[in-house]
Amino acid sequence: MVAQAVRGLGGIGKSTLALRHARARLAVGGGPVWWVTAESAHEVVAGLARLAAVVSPVPASLPLRDAADWAVTWLQGRTGWLVVLDNGEDPAHIAPWLERLDTGQVLVTTRRDVAWPGTSTVPRVDTLRPDASLRVRRDLAGPHGTADDGTWRAVADELGHLPLALQQAGAYLAQTRPAPARYLARLRCASWDGPGTRCRLRNARCPSPSRRWAPTTPAPGTCAAGC
């Protein structure tokens, strides 16, 4: 079995990376692929139980845990499969299953920077480089997007160069075409209560990756000067 854990911040692209890997395996004729939300022990069991229900009508009447056991036994009798355990929170939630999933590949995505027994850890998925962040905007908005490169770099800095946040911001700018400077000002607000109100700034000393990024579809109105 190959079991790997992909670590990184929320919104960094771990699930997208896992999805692309799954699609690539299917494209070359790989075995079954199954996606399990792994935020809790119950979700892991429920996700495996759903696999049992898909591949056989027999487990439909089984208790949840028994159905999950049935699914793992079914996988053990096959090779070439991939199980993605997405957004794992606690190694204890998946450890009992990893011990038995040894004839295919298991891929764990997680925000937790902890040891995941039974897995090898691939390099941590990091935030985008500034030039890559700029390409996200160009891909979404095209060369005639409303945000110039300088403004987009500032937006990317505010969003910590997180791929998901950048994608949402780029799509919003492309669709609504707000004044880039106004959009940037709203992002710099820690909170904004509507027209005529002042926003409270985030702590400027907070490093970019851990900043709380504002919604990428700000409420209509004008953020007070100085935000």
Domain extent listing, the chain: 2-121, 130-210
48 — pLDDT class (breaks 50, 70, 90): very high
> If you average pLDDT over residues 100-124, what whole number do you get?
81
CA distance 183 to 170: 11
CA distance 151 to 185: 11
Instruction: Decide which of 3.30.70, 1.10.3210, 3.40.109, 1.10.8 is the CATH code for 130-210.
Output: 1.10.8
On whether the CB atoms of residues 161 and 128 are closer than 8 A, the answer is: yes
Tokens of 199: 């926003």
Tokens of 219: 């409420």
The SS3 call for residue 210 is helix
Task: Decide if pLDDT at 75 tops 70.
Answer: yes
The SS3 call for residue 105 is strand
160 — pLDDT class (breaks 50, 70, 90): confident
> Can you give the pLDDT at residue 20?
87
Instruction: Decide which of 3.30.300.20, 3.40.50.620, 3.40.50.300, 1.20.1440.20 is the CATH code for 2-121.
Output: 3.40.50.300
Domains 2-121 and 130-210 share a fold: no
Crossing angle of the two packed helices 64-76 and 41-55, in degrees rounded to 10 = 60
